[in-house]
């Protein structure tokens, strides 16, 4: 356990001590802020617009959660498509490229400790970035009439955490396959993109195969979380995807031992 925490603190230390991280943080806050601003602004305008009808007798209550929080989380999930490859690209590729894989493989640590430390490190990093958006929820809570319904908000964050858990192992697995970080990032992005939109391809087909393929798509599963619905089948989807990724990463690293890193 101690070796795990040593490895984890090394991962986090490497992330947080580089200027790259802070650049990513700044850009992320900027872009997510931009998304939030647009959505909130649109909502505010629409509210003003529908206010007229109130005077004419129509009561059209617009739900902040439905109109702001949900689209905002979906935007964040799409943002994650870009973020995850950046977070995971260096995890194993850098170790091989700089030769420090030799250090790790000749140290008395188990491969599982190594793999899990990188996974948890990546997850912590991802959640640190995502949690900066709490600020926006607080703003909504402050200005919305009657306050914000926090339940769906937490559901949304849980969904993001699960996306992280499912895709970070995938990205790290791809990182074990190459020494080139750019290729790792690009491949990860490509896979994530495909996983995200694969359900579109089955839109006009009714066969059983289409349903299976469509189920693999991440977007519909995440939508439930964005709505505020925690469906155990969605949770299982993300968790099992993550476990598959962890398994593949573990096997890949083990194979370095008999293939040569």
Partner 1 sequence: MIIVENLVKYYGKFKALDGVTFEAKDGEVLGLLGPNAAGKTTTMRILTTYLPFTSGKAVVAGHDVVKEPIKVREKIGYMPENPPLYNDMKVKRFLSFVGKLRGLYGKKLADRLEYVRDVCQLDEVWNMYIAQISKGYRQRVGLASALIADPPVLILDEPTIGLDPRQIRYTRELIKELGGNHTVLLSTHILPEAEMTCDRVAIINKGKIIAVGKPSELAEKIRRVNAVRVELSGPQNEVEKALFELDGVIEIRPGERPNTFVVNFEPKWDVREQITRLANERGWTILELTPIEASLEEIFLELVVEEPDRIKAGVND
Rule CB under 8 A: say whether 2 interacts with partner 1.
Answer: yes
> What is the SS3 assignment for 260?
coil
Q: Which of 140, 8, 11, 162 is nearest to 80 (CA)?
A: 162
Rule CB under 8 A: say whether 254 interacts with partner 1.
Answer: no
Which residue reads 């809570």 in tokens?
A: 141
Rule CB under 8 A: say whether 99 interacts with partner 1.
Answer: yes
In the bound state with partner 1, the residue whose beta carbon lies nearer, of 16 and 34, is: 16
Smallest separation, CB 71 to partner 1 (Å): 38
Radius of gyration of the chain, Cα coordinates, nearest whole angstrom: 21
In the bound state with partner 1, the residue whose beta carbon lies nearer, of 14 and 66, is: 14
Rule CB under 8 A: say whether 7 interacts with partner 1.
Answer: yes
Q: Which of 26, 38, 60, 110 binds partner 1 (CB under 8 A)?
A: 110
Smallest separation, CB 255 to partner 1 (Å): 11
Rule CB under 8 A: say whether 17 interacts with partner 1.
Answer: yes
H or E element, residue 235: helix 232-259
Contact 168, 130 (CB under 8 A): no
Q: How far apart are CA 183 and CA 178, in angstroms?
A: 7
Q: How far apart are CA 155 and CA 229, in angstroms?
A: 7
Q: Which of 247, 222, 254, 255 is nearest to 237 (CA)?
A: 222
Size of the site for partner 1 (CB under 8 A): 25
Q: Which of 27, 103, 138, 243 binds partner 1 (CB under 8 A)?
A: 103
Which residue reads 């959660």 in tokens?
A: 65
In the bound state with partner 1, the residue whose beta carbon lies nearer, of 113 and 188, is: 113
Return the range that interacts with partner 1 (CB under 8 A); candidates 10-18, 154-162, 195-203, 221-229: 10-18
Contacts of 67 (CB under 8 A, 6+ apart): 39, 43, 46
Rule CB under 8 A: say whether 258 interacts with partner 1.
Answer: yes
In the bound state with partner 1, the residue whose beta carbon lies nearer, of 120 and 235, is: 120
Rule CB under 8 A: say whether 105 interacts with partner 1.
Answer: yes
Q: How far apart are CA 6 and CA 100, in angstroms?
A: 16
Give the footprint of partner 1 on this chain (CB under 8 A). 2-3, 6-7, 10, 13-14, 17-18, 98-103, 105-110, 257-258, 260-261
């Amino acid at each position: 356990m101690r070796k795990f925490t040593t490895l984890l603190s090394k991962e986090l230390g490497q992330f947080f001590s580089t200027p790259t991280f802070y650049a990513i943080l700044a850009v992320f806050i900027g872009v997510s802020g931009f998304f939030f601003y647009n959505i909130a602004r649109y909502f505010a305008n629409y509210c003003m617009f529908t206010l007229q009808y109130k005077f004419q007798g129509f009561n059209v209550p617009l739900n902040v959660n439905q109109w702001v929080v949900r689209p905002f989380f979906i935007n964040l999930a799409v943002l994650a498509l870009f973020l995850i490859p950046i977070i995971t690209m260096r995890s194993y590729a850098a170790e091989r490229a700089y030769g420090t894989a030799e250090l790790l493989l000749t140290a008395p640590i188990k491969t599982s400790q190594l793999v899990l430390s990188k996974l948890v490190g990546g997850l912590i990093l991802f959640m640190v970035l995502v949690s900066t958006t709490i600020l926006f929820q607080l703003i909504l809570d402050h200005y919305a009439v009657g306050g914000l319904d926090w339940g769906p908000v937490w559901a949304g964050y849980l969904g993001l955490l699960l996306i992280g858990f499912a895709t970070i192992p995938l990205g790290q697995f791809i990182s074990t396959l190459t020494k080139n970080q750019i290729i790792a990032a690009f491949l990860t992005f490509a896979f994530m993109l495909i996983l995200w939109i694969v359900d579109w391809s089955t839109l006009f087909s009714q066969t059983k195969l289409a349903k299976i393929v469509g189920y693999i798509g991440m977007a519909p599963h995440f939508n439930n979380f964005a709505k505020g619905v925690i469906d155990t089948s969605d949770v299982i989807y993300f968790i099992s995807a993550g476990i598959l990724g962890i398994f593949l990463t573990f096997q890949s690293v083990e194979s370095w031992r008999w293939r040569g890193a």
